Structures are given as C-alpha cells and as structure tokens.
Structure 1
Amino acid sequence: MKASDLFVKALESEGVEYVFGIPGEENLDLLESLRASSIRLVLTRHEQAAGFMAATYGRLTGRTGVCLATLGPGATNLVTAAAYAQLGGMPVLMITGQKPIKVSKQGEFQILDVVDMMHPISKYTRQISSGANIPARVREAFRRAEDERPGAVHLELPEDIAREETDAPVIPRSRFEAPWASDGSIAAAVEMIEAARQPLLLIGAGANRRQTCRALPAFVEATGIPFFSTQMGKGVVDERHPLFLGNAALSGDDFLHRAVEAADLIINVGHDVVEKPPFIMGRPENAPPHVEEAARAGTARVIHVNYVTAAIDAVYHPHQGVIGDIARSVERLTEAVRPQPHWDFSRFMEVRRHLDVHTREGMDDARFPVYPQRLVADVRAALPDDGIVALDNGIYKIWFARNYRARQPNTVLLDNALASMGAGLPSAMAAKMVYPDHPVIAVCGDGGFMMNSQELETAVRLGLNLVVLVLRDDAYGMIRWKQAAMGFDDYGLTYGNPDFVRYAEAYGAYGHRVESADALRPLIAFCLAAPGLHVIDVPVDYSDNDRILNQEIKARSRAI
C-alpha cells in the first residue's frame, strides 16, 4: 500500500470527516489518497482560516479537527491557528508537506524546519521519516490532541515518504476513561464547601465539555450556590438562571468583582491558565470598606476541580485540588454536599440585582450608529436557545461577554486565550458545518473581518446558510478604547473600508446595510430565515466605551 493511502486510512480510523486546507505540490500524493476516501476536503482561501475551522470543529465536537498545508509559506500560515488551538484547548491536527528528505530535489527552496517551528505552539510535532511509522505517529498525534488539556499537534509528511510502499497496519483508536478524583479529595472539598459561609462557583473553559455541561446544572440546583463564568465558560449553565452573577469580562471593578470579594470559598471548576480570572485569589487594595476584612486580604479559599493539578504561581495557588474527570467529580460533589443553614448569599443576590439593572440599560437605545448594548440585545432576541454566535476579537467581545446571556453550552464561540483577530468568520463556518440545523451568526469588527474575508467565497461554495454582522467603526476599536483609557491622543488606528454590501455581492453572497437602530433586529431575523450567506454592514457607536467600561461600571459597582 502506498504510504499516503495508509495515512488517509489512519485518518479514517480516527473518524475524521473533514480536512480543511490548501494543498501544495508536496501534498499531491496525499490529495489523491483523500480523493478516493470517505473524508471530505474543504478547500479554503487561506491556511489560517483552515486552521481556525479545524480548531472550532475540535472545540464543538471534542474530536480532533484536521487541517492541511504545504511546506514553507503554507506551513507558516498555520502558525496563528496552531497557537489559537493550543491556547484555546481545542484538539487539532496540522498536516504539512515537505520536499523529499532522502534525495535533494531543489536545494533549500521553500524549506524551513517546520517541526522545530511548531514545537513551542503544539503538544506534539514530528516528521514522518518512514511509511511504516505512519500508524503509530497518527494514533499518537490524535491521542495527544484530545488528551486533557486538548490542543494542537503537527505531522510533516515529506513527498518521498508519501510515495513509499508499506504493509504496516492501522492502529485502532484506544478506549480509556479519565481517572477519578480520590475519595479523600472529594471528602476534603465537601467539608470546605459545607463549612464556608459564602461559597461561590466559578465555571471556566475546561468545564465546557459535554459531560460536565450536564453535571454542573445539577450541582447548582442541588446546592443553590451562586455561580459566574469566564468568557470561554459561558453557557455551561443557562445564564438566565437566578443564581448567575455575571461573566469575568473585565479585569476588575465590575459588579461581579464585588461578589468575588465577598466570597470566603471559591469552587473553581475547569480553570484554564490562559483565562481570567486569577483575580479570585487577590483583592484590590481599595476594596470598599464594608467588604469583610478577610476578603480584602485575599484570603478566600479556593478548590481546584480539574483534570490536572494547578500550576502554582503568585496569583493562583489553590488550597485543595479535586483532580480527575471533571464531570464525575462534580457529580460526586452534588451527591455529597448538603446545603447549610449558615450559608449567606444575600451579598451575591444584591450584586445580581445591580448587574441586571445595568445590563438592561441601552437595550432599546435608538441612537444610530447602533449602540453596543442595543446590538447585543438584538442579536440575543433574534437567536433561539440553540443559536450560535461566533465572535471575532474586538471591543464588542466585552459587551457580548457581559450582556449576552448564553442559554446552552458552546453557543457563544469567542477566543479569550490567544484572542486572535480573523477567527470569527471561519469559526462560524465550522459551527454551521457541525450543526447545520442551528442558526449561526458571525459577529466581526471591520478590522477582523477583513483579515479573513476571502472565506466568503468558501462559504458560498459550500452552500452555508450563515449571517455575518460586520461592525463598522472604521478603526481598530479595541486598541482605540485602550488608547483613550491611557490618556493618549487618538492616533494611528483609523482606516478606510470597502462598500461591504457590494463586497459581499462580489463573492456571490447577499449584502445588506443597516440604516437605523430599529431596522437591525428585523433584518437579522429576515437573513436568518432566508437561505444563503448574508453579510450585514452595521455602523456602530463606540463613543461611550471609555465612559461606561472604564468609569461608570467602576463607580457603580463600588457603591454597592
């Protein structure tokens, strides 16, 4: 059997449905093997977008997404997507080609040490030097990609190796269960929770797994302990729940931080080192005087519930670990913890009341260009419970994290790890492929959208029914907000844009432009109901970002 055929059979054995990417000369044997397989090649217009799509597939399914590029520039174009998957905990396999390694073909033309390049941004990277090694290399790559914590892996298949003959058999997938936490750690955690006066639950990115998403709502209902989430933990428990206290969208002095200051125990489920907070183990020196002395000193105890032990540093050093399968740990805590009469959640509920008031403000604001709070409210109103919103990276991400109440897991796809621009559209495309019956909206700033806007052609070619909101402020708005907050002059962050309606139509999509705030919600509803790819140009008004996010929230939260 030709080695490239064996490689593809190994991919089929792993259950691979799609390979996203752009082949090159050095991939042609592999491409021919894919043509004769059950795997669908999704040809993209840029390797970075292919990597984002593969990573999002991995995030949503828990199975390894696969992307393909050639050597040299094709491989370097995967670097950002590799880092995106690695920091975001998304299982993805990157396959790159290479010149022959046994006999020189073209000297050093296009040759980089891709394996060495991938070392810092992947869990596993290898060059395949023999066809007989393919089954073991592929099986190990998938094992590493999906093992907690999930991430990026890379295999380089040189073209002369791809043409070799081999009789090596495919190695089947292994079956395994993650270890359970020890009885002693469960008992210690139960004792700490029941002894606490104001326990608080934190839901992090690592909790956004299918089984854990079933276990955590039951824990909340059984114990009545209030909860909050990180940005990548959104939706694990329905955020309409009366015990939901908000999202860690801002680094400090949001309403949520007043609840964290009051807590004497934080149950941290699925903490991921790349995400906020670690502020749970520290308190601002200028905390309001009515906050308990113990809280101001940052002495709240922390239980770390995760697959792996915590990496200890100056800002995160939990007091008790519950290490093992997270879902099973949460189930066992649910069975064992008994609500206590001395628990006092009144402070948390006060925070919740103030949060609710603030997040309702601006929801029906009629100003135009569209106000961010109105935008978030209209997108939420347009989508059903299982609707998916895929966010690119920009200042609007903070508004969505704070104000958009996610109702189901993984229905808000945002990147708060690498926080890369350009991922919104490819992520939405992958989400639509995984869940074709769910309505999907991509929300992109004009800056991030233009970084991978060429994938409109891919989406049209794939026949995806998708809505893309392009939030137009003609600037890199997130950095402009930070620039203003630091007292600097407005400089170096504005640009021009194409006519997005005509731009969409040039790719075969439908283009729309919002002319008033009141027109936004019905237009989104129309586009969701209509077939095809719809791009909506939405002018946005970010003029109040600095006042609200840097000043108003801080003042109002400190007054609680």
Structure 2
Amino acid sequence: MPGLAVLTAGPGVTNGVSALAQARFAGSPMVVVGGRAPNNRWGTGALQEIDHLPIVAPVTKHAATLMTADDVAAGFDNAFTLARSSHRGPVYVDVPMDEFFNVGTGTRPAVGALRGASPDTDAVARIAGLVAKAERPVLVLGTDVWADHAEAAALRLVEEMRLPAITNGMGRGVVPGGHPLLVTKARGAALGGADLVVVVGTPLDFRLGYGVFGGKDGATPAAVVHVADSAEQALRARRAGRLRLRRPHRRPRRPAGGPGRPPAAAAQRLDHLPAGHRRRGRRARRGACSVQRRTRSTRRGSTASWCPGSPTTPS
C-alpha cells in the first residue's frame, strides 16, 4: 500500500516538495494530503493561502484539489489507485479547510489488488532468444522486481539459467548475499565484459551508465534489454541512451596560467597587451612563480621562499 503524509498548507506543502521529488524519481508510492485555505475566503489573503498545484505537479504523478466534501471518497480512491499503479509514484491531493469540516455523500469504492500490464509474449520470446545466444550475459535486478513481488521468480530465473546477477536499489536481497551468481561486488568487470545486459525493474540512469555497457578494449558494446513496467520508463531510458552516445563528456579547457599549466605559457600571451596590463600580468606571474618555488622547495625539505603578505609562515 502507498505511504501517507499530511501537510499543513503553505510552508508545509512547499517543504514537502523535496520528498515528493525523491518519491517520484525513486518510484515510491505515496499519497500526500495538503491543507488549503477555505473556499469562502479564497483570494482575500487567508492564512497560508497559496495554490499548491502548480508547485507540486512537476514532481508528482497527479495533483488535484477536491473542492467539495462529496468529492472526497472518489478523489482519494483515485489518488491511492494512481500511486500504486505502474509506474508507482507520489500523488498530491488538497482539500479546502471549510470542506474538511463539511458533510458529503459518496459511494464506497471497491478496493482490490491491482494487476500489472500483461507481458508481451513476442518480446519475451525475443529476450529468451538473446539470452540463449549470449556468451557473457548479465542480469540486473532493481526495485520494481521487489515491489511487484517477483523476487521468487527472479531468483528462480538466475539459478535455472545460471545467469550472473547484479542487484541495485530495493532489489538488493533478491539474490541473497554470498550467492555464487551474485556479482554486484564485481559489477564493473561484469558489465564491462558483457555481450548482453538484461536490466529489469530499474531505470537506465547514471547508476547504470545510461544503458551503455561493454565495448572495452575495442570490443563490440553489449546488447541491452530493458524490462520496465511502463512505457514512460522505457522511453526515458531510450532518450538517456541517445544523449549518452551523442554527447560524450569532455573536460573543459583550462585557462592559460591555470592549474597544471606553467606560468611561462601565460607570459607568452601578454605580449600583445598594453604596458600597464603587462606589468600587472608579470606581477601576478611572479607571485605564481614564488608560490610554485615555495611548494617545490618545501617538498624537498629545504628552506621555502615566502611572499610578503602571505599567511604562510616561512620554515
């Protein structure tokens, strides 16, 4: 069942935004109920009067105001259903203060277990074929394996197919610690040398290199299968993978005379400057040289140079 939090209006709700955002990214089901200034005083400057929905909507699955007491039964049933539906996450609901103390009528909702989407049998067959052909497959099991109560089936898959497995998030423990097929402590070597990586129930985010595995020492990058519980998760992973391939990380260029560049290199760039700028540049360069001499001589254990005004006491 989803978690439940109740927040006061205004600062209580705004202080809860970080928790809502974390629940959204982690796929944690929860319903957050906020207070709200009364309808009959709205727009007159009531205590802690603020429209919360534009603030919380970007970090929740759904955000709504239940305007009357008659809306409460159906509104909260919808909130709890959405929170625990794939892909799980936080739902926000607020109720005006005057309606909190009102009386309304509604139909008692039927509560039952939710069934996830039916598996795509063709996709399952293709995955099985890839696993059968792979020489160095690796299986990654994440939070949704545990949240969907699939831990027993996952462990059976690992043991019957002898698949090296890595667990992350709340998937830790699906394959018990010390199990011979649990390779979490050697994940770098396992993922770097894999020719097929099957990721189940966890996003292809920074923790998993945005879905790029293998390819070490000129080898072909690993094929990747992502098993997710919603189209949103799969599309986000695909988008992250495209960005990762198209925009490799590059170190920013260091400025002249910065760390790792000798001061002489900066001096060569001062010749075209007016005399006053050159004098200031040379003074800065002499200071840098003095600091550099002081550092080198101190490491050798000899007497260090000292710049006047420096807080460092000469040895």
TM-score (norm 2): 0.70
Match of 2:202 among 271, 292, 296: 271
Going from structure 1 to structure 2, the CA distance change for 1:66 and 1:120 (only over 3 Å counts) comes to same
Alignment partner of 1:149 is 2:87: yes
Q: Is residue 233 from structure 1 mapped to residue 171 from structure 2 by the alignment?
A: yes
**What SS does the aligned partner of 2:39 have?**
coil
Report what 1:198 is aligned to: 136
8 Å Cα contact 1:278-1:316 kept in structure 2: no
Could you report, residue by residue, the CA deviation over 1:146-182 in whole angstroms, capped at 9, with x for unpaired residues?
A: 0111111111111111222222222222444222212
Q: Indicate the residue corresponding to 2:19 in structure 1.
A: 81
8 A contact 2:42–2:49 mirrored in 1: no
Q: Structure 2 matches for 1:347-426, cutoff 5 A?
A: none
**Residue 95 of structure 1, CA deviation:** 0.7
Q: 2:149 aligns with which of 206, 211, 233?
A: 211
Which residue matches 1:306?
A: 228
1:308 alignment partner AA: S
When residues 147 and 92 of structure 1 are mapped into structure 2, their CA distance, relative to the original with a 3 A threshold, is same
Q: How does 1:392-541 map to 2 (within 5 A)?
A: none
* Aligned 8 A contact 2:204 2:210 in 1: no
In structure 2, the residue matched to 1:261 is 192
Cα offset, 1:263, TM superposition: 0.9
C-alpha change, 1:102 and 1:122, in structure 2 (3 Å) is: same
Q: 1:127 aligns with which of 40, 65, 76?
A: 65
CA contact (8 A) 2:201 2:228 kept: yes
> What displacement does 1:94 show?
0.7
Asked whether the 8 Å contact 2:195–2:214 carries over to 1, the reply is no
Kept in 2: contact 1:227–1:244 (CA 8 A): yes
**CA, structure 1 residues 279+258, in 2 after alignment: closer, same or farther (shift >3 Å)?**
farther
**Alignment partner of 1:188 is 2:105:** no
* Kept in 2: contact 1:226–1:245 (CA 8 A): yes
Give CA deviations for 1:5-62 in whole Å, capped at 9, x if unaligned.
xxxxxxxxxxxxxxxxxxxxxxxxxxxxxxxxxxxxxxxxxxxxxxxxxxxxxxxxxx
Paired residue secondary structure (1:236): coil
Q: Which amino acid aligns with 2:200?
A: V
Contact between 2:141 and 2:202, CA under 8 Å: does it hold in 1? Answer: yes
Contact 2:204 2:240 in 1 (8 A): no
* 1:158 matched to 2:96: yes
CA distance 1:78–1:308, shift in 2 (3 Å): same
User: Are the structure 2 counterparts of residues 279 and 153 from structure 1 closer, same or farther at C-alpha, using a change threshold of 3 Å?
Assistant: closer
Q: Which has the larger radius of gyration?
A: 2
- Please state how far the C-alpha of 1:105 moved relative to its aligned partner: 8.8
Q: Output the CA distance in 2 between the equivalents of 1:282 and 1:220.
A: 20
Q: How far apart in 2 are the matches of 1:153 and 1:126? A: 9
Q: Deviations for 1:63-121, whole angstroms, at most 9, x for unmatched residues?
A: 11111111111111211111121111111111111111133596254222111111011
Partner of 1:293: 219
| CA distance, structure 1, for counterparts of residue 206 and residue 150 of structure 2 | 18
Aligned-residue offset at 1:314: 4.7
Residue identity opposite 1:203 in structure 2 = L
The residue aligned with 1:501 is: none
CA distance in structure 1 between the aligned counterparts of 2:168 and 2:210, rounded to whole angstroms: 11
Amino acid at match of 2:127: A
SS in structure 2 of the partner of residue 313 of structure 1: helix
* Distance in 2 separating the partners of 1:273 and 1:261: 15
**Deviation by residue 1:400-453 (Cα, 9 ceiling, x = unmatched):** xxxxxxxxxxxxxxxxxxxxxxxxxxxxxxxxxxxxxxxxxxxxxxxxxxxxxx
Deviations 1:305-359 (A, max 9, x none): 2212411225269xxxxxxxxxxxxxxxxxxxxxxxxxxxxxxxxxxxxxxxxxx
| Percentage of matched positions with identical amino acids | 24
Contact 1:193 1:199 in 2 (8 A): yes
Match of 1:137 in 2: 75
Q: Is the 8 A contact 2:30 2:90 kept in 1?
A: yes
SS at match of 1:217: helix
Change (3 A) 1:85 1:149: same
Aligned-partner Cα distance in 1 for 2:160–2:121: 20
Partner Cα distance (1:279, 1:99) in 2: 43
Runs of 4+ in structure 1 displaced over 4 angstroms? none
Residue aligned with 1:276, SS: helix
- Judged with a 3 Å threshold, the aligned counterparts in structure 2 of structure 1 residues 314 and 99 are, in CA distance, closer, same or farther, namely closer
Q: Distance between the aligned counterparts of 1:273 and 1:101, measured in 2?
A: 44
Unaligned runs of 5+ in 1: 1-62, 248-254, 318-486, 488-560
Aligned length: 241
Question: Quick one: which amino acid aligns to residue 194 of structure 1?
Answer: A
> 1:133, CA displacement in angstroms?
1.1
* Amino acid paired to 1:307: D
2:183 aligned counterpart, secondary structure: strand
Deviations 1:252-303 (A, max 9, x none): xxx422221211111111122556213542457xx4x4xx622xxx2x1112
> Does the CA contact (< 8 Å) of 1:261 and 1:283 recur in 2?
yes
Aligned partners of 1:230 and 1:277 also within 8 Å: no
Question: Equivalent residue for 1:91?
Answer: 29
Relative contact order, CA 8 A, sep 6+: which one is greater? 1
Corresponding residue SS for 2:40: coil
Alpha-carbon distance in 1 for matches of 2:175, 2:90: 27
User: Alpha-carbon deviations, 1:343-398, whole Å to 9, x = none?
Assistant: xxxxxxxxxxxxxxxxxxxxxxxxxxxxxxxxxxxxxxxxxxxxxxxxxxxxxxxx
Amino acid at match of 1:305: V
Q: Contact between 1:99 and 1:105, CA under 8 Å: does it hold in 2?
A: no
